[in-house]
Structures are given as C-alpha cells and as structure tokens.
C-alpha cells in the first residue's frame, strides 16, 4: 500500500495540471478566434501547430517564473493527452464544442 502511495505521489509531483489546463484553454481560445475570423474550420495540422505555440508561450512564462524544466517537459507531454482523454470526453458528454457554441451564439 505504501508503494502505491509513493508511486501516486511521484506521478502527481511530476506534472503540473494547472499548466495542462492553461495550455488547453489557450489553444481553445486561439482556435476559436481563428475560426471566428476566417469563418471556416481550422485543419488538424493547424490545431497541432497552435497547440505547440501555446505550449511554447505558457512554458516560457513558467520558465521565467522559475518552474523546473523537467516538470515543464512532463507537463508539455501531458497537455495534449489531458485534452484527448480527459477534457474532450467531458465536453462531449455535456454537448460542448467550440463549433456548436459558435453556431449557438450567432
């Protein structure tokens, strides 16, 4: 039981979940803004580039503040996984999607 607790503590301390949320929210805002401006969907490769830009921006701020580089690297890897496996299924369950929200507001 103590081994499991140690493993969980090490895992939790190896990632910054606030970082993951920040990267995903920033990516969402940028994609939604671009979609609103150009009036058509952003392609998958463009979304990945936007995610990479978001990771670089947020990581730069975290690095300047003094966050550990290893923690930033781990969290950068976890950010897209959090979106695909955690946040996106929750949004889909509640029927939320930036395309649907955009169409509802217009």
- Indicate if the pLDDT at residue 12 is higher than 70: yes
Q: Is the predicted pLDDT of residue 1 greater than 80, yes or no?
A: no
Q: Given a cut of 70, is residue 3 above it in pLDDT?
A: yes
Long-range residue pairs from 91-100, CB within 8 A, at least 24 positions apart, any chain: 98/28, 98/31, 98/32, 98/35, 99/35, 99/41
Two structure tokens written together for 30: 């940028």
Give the pLDDT of residue 99: 60
**Contact call for residues 24 and 87 (beta carbons, < 8 A):** yes
pTM of structure? 0.78
Task: Report the distance separating Cα 80 and Cα 19, nearest Å.
Answer: 11
- The pair of three-digit structure tokens given for residue 37, joined into one six-digit string: 């401006």
Q: What is the pLDDT of residues 21-75, one digit of tens each?
A: 999 999 989 998 999 898 888 899 999 999 999 999 999 999 999 988 998 999 9
pLDDT category at 103 given cuts 50, 70, 90 is low
Per-residue model confidence as pLDDT tens digits over 70-100: 989 999 999 999 888 888 888 888 887 656 6
User: Pick the residue with more confidence: 52 or 8?
Assistant: 52
């Amino acid at each position: 039981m103590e081994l499991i607790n140690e493993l969980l503590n090490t895992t939790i301390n190896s990632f910054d979940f606030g970082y993951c949320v920040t990267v995903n929210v920033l990516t969402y805002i940028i994609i939604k803004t671009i979609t609103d401006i150009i009036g058509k969907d952003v392609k998958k490769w463009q979304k990945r580039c936007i995610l990479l830009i978001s990771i670089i921006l947020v990581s730069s701020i975290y690095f300047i503040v003094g966050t550990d580089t290893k923690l930033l690297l781990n969290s950068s890897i976890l950010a897209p996984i959090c979106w695909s496996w955690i946040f996106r299924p929750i949004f889909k369950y509640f029927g939320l999607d930036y395309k649907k929200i955009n169409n509802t507001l217009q």
